[in-house]
């Protein structure tokens, strides 16, 4: 609840309400904004002038309406003066982007890790790359507003702590603290920093930059070595009490199914994830390496019988998960992303068929299922989108609105232990 005396916060909330409105409905005039947002015309004029001076908004040629009086001047989000940074701290490399406020990529970089098992060196590499991006010619006359980072594991988004990244072997890594230390003395020092699980970040990218605000609720289903989901409801990320919402890789799809890394049987991770596919095709005694993953993609594309059979089965299991997500959240759209997209329709088509069969049985229309708009840079671009998302919602804090709730290290020991193995 806003405190009556906090005029600066109230003003910032009002400013960003205008920006959000123009992000969803470009071209509105000051008068239309006043009517829609519920502020006086004089207040709108003052706030718009400030936002234009700072680089958030711009105006285009006046519209001829045929009415008497001053012509309406359309307002838009300005893509020419401000910038956002996004990063994907993935399993083998850091992907970095700089975008404008409209999500258009200004600069990008991929930095392979020298030591993927060493979290500190990977974070340092990413921090140096982000600082270097600010010196690129594309950002020469732009002001960077904030930074968003996607992590492949269980994240305490209020503190920036990576609790567990199962496929990197990282535990209890203070990513936010290390980044702030590396940013000291650089142009990034003191900038707002937002950190989230990669599926949540990618979901925000689809919401903010892909024009999908009308596809709300929206679910981003990320399928890589494991399985996770980012869930958008009413324009906000659903994080849950402990930031653990969307860990659908550990929903049970098959009782008595393959053993999962969490110790249970039949989880989505153990039936759909790329690690599970490699175990099926090559045996669990084989190490899950990037080379082996590339081999799996090549064999699936060439029609190898064992690989094709495993991908088909994973696709059908994915269809069961799609149905469960549909029933649980009733989304307008489910976006399937992650490294498994390399398998293309070999994976997605069986999933769609299962979902369509479920829909036909209930005589309802299944949600749209599609692939992401941003390809390999989806998480990095989502990081920039996350920065914009929370900057435009100043009253939300860092989005989770969970700062006064229990942290993972304050949970009962048994529950905390179970969460540590999920990712």
> pLDDT (tens digit, 9 = 90+) per residue, 197-233?
999 999 999 999 987 566 789 999 999 988 999 999 9
**SS3 state at 307:** helix
Q: Can you tell me the mean pLDDT for 381-386?
A: 97
Q: What is the CATH number of the domain that holds 360?
A: 3.30.420.40
Structural contact between residues 126 and 186, judged by C-beta atoms closer than 8 angstroms: no
Q: How many CB atoms lie within 10 A of CB 397?
A: 12
CA–CA separation, 133 and 258 (whole Å): 44
pLDDT in tens, 24-69: 899 999 999 999 999 999 999 999 999 999 999 999 876 555 555 5
Quick check: is 335 in a domain?
A: yes
Residues 304 and 196 in one domain: no
Q: What are phi and psi of 350, to 5 degrees?
A: -60, -35
Most confident of 7-11, 83-87, 364-368: 83-87
- The pLDDT assigned to 197 comes to 93
Distances (CA, A) of 227 to 85, 221, 285, 322, 414: 26, 7, 22, 12, 23
β-strand pairing of 143-151 with 82-89: parallel
Same domain, 89 and 117: yes
Domain-embedded: residue 368: yes
Does residue 9 belong to any structural domain of this protein?
no
Q: Is residue 59 part of a domain?
A: no
Give the mean pLDDT of 77-81.
Answer: 96
349 and 332 in a common domain: yes
pTM score of the predicted model: 0.88
- Distance CA(171)–CA(119), nearest Å, equals 9
Residues 266 and 146 in one domain: no
Name residue 222's beta-bridge partners.
Answer: 228, 337
Higher pLDDT, 395 or 358: 358
Residue 301: which domain range? 213-372
Shared domain check, 360 and 251: yes
For residue 398, is pLDDT > 80? no
pLDDT category of residue 422 using cuts at 50, 70 and 90: very low
Say how many domains are in the chain.
3
Q: Give yes or no: residues 270 and 351 share one domain.
A: yes
Question: What per-residue confidence (pLDDT) applies to 169?
Answer: 86
Tell me the angle at which helices 290-302 and 274-282 cross, rounded to the nearest 10 degrees: 80
Q: pLDDT over 70 for what percent of the chain?
A: 88
Q: Model confidence over 264-283: pLDDT tens digits?
A: 999 999 999 999 999 999 98
Is 15 within a domain? no
Residue 18 lies inside a defined structural domain of this protein: no
Residue 410's pLDDT is: 52
Same domain, 223 and 189: no
Same domain, 109 and 144: yes
């Amino acid at each position: 609840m806003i405190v009556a005396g906090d005029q600066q916060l109230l003003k910032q909330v009002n400013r960003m309400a205008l920006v959000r409105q123009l992000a969803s409905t470009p071209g509105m005039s000051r008068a239309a904004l006043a009517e829609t947002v519920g502020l006086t015309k004089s207040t709108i004029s003052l706030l718009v002038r400030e936002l234009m001076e700072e680089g958030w908004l711009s105006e285009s040629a006046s519209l001829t309406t045929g009415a008497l009086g001053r012509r309406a001047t359309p307002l838009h989000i300005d893509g020419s003066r401000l910038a956002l940074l996004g990063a994907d701290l993935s399993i083998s490399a850091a992907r970095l982007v700089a975008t404008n406020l409209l999500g258009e990529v200004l600069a990008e970089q991929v930095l392979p890790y020298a030591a993927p098992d060493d979290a500190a060196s990977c974070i340092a590499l990413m921090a140096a790359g982000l600082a270097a991006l600010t010196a690129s010619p594309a950002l020469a006359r732009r002001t960077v507003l904030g930074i968003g980072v996607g992590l492949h594991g269980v994240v305490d988004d209020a503190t920036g702590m990576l609790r567990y990244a199962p496929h990197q072997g990282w535990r209890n890594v203070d990513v936010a603290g290390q980044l702030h230390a590396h940013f000291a003395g650089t142009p990034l020092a003191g900038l707002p920093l937002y950190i989230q699980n990669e599926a949540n970040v990618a979901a925000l990218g689809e919401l903010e930059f892909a024009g999908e605000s009308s596809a709300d609720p929206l679910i981003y289903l990320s399928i890589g070595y494991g399985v996770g989901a980012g869930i958008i409801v009413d324009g906000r990320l659903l994080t849950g009490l402990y930031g653990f919402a969307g860990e659908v890789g550990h929903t049970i799809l098959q009782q008595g199914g393959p053993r999962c890394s969490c110790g249970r049987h039949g989880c989505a991770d153990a039936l759909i994830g790329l690690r599970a596919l490699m175990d099926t095709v090559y045996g669990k005694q084989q190490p899950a390496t990037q080379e082996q993953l590339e081999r799996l993609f090549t064999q699936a594309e060439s029609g190898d019988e064992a690989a094709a059979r495993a991908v088909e089965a994973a696709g059908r299991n994915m269809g069961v998960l799609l149905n469960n997500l549909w029933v649980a959240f009733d989304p307008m759209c489910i976006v399937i992303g992650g490294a498994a997209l390399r398998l293309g329709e070999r994976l997605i088509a069986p999933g769609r068929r299962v979902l369509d069969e479920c829909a036909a049985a209930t005589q309802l229309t299944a949600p749209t299922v599609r692939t992401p708009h941003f390809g390999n840079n989806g998480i990095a671009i989502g990081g920039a989108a996350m920065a914009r998302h929370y900057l435009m919602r100043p009253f939300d804090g860092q989005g989770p609105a969970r700062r006064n709730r229990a942290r993972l290290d304050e949970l009962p020991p048994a529950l905390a232990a179970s969460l540590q193995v999920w990712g």
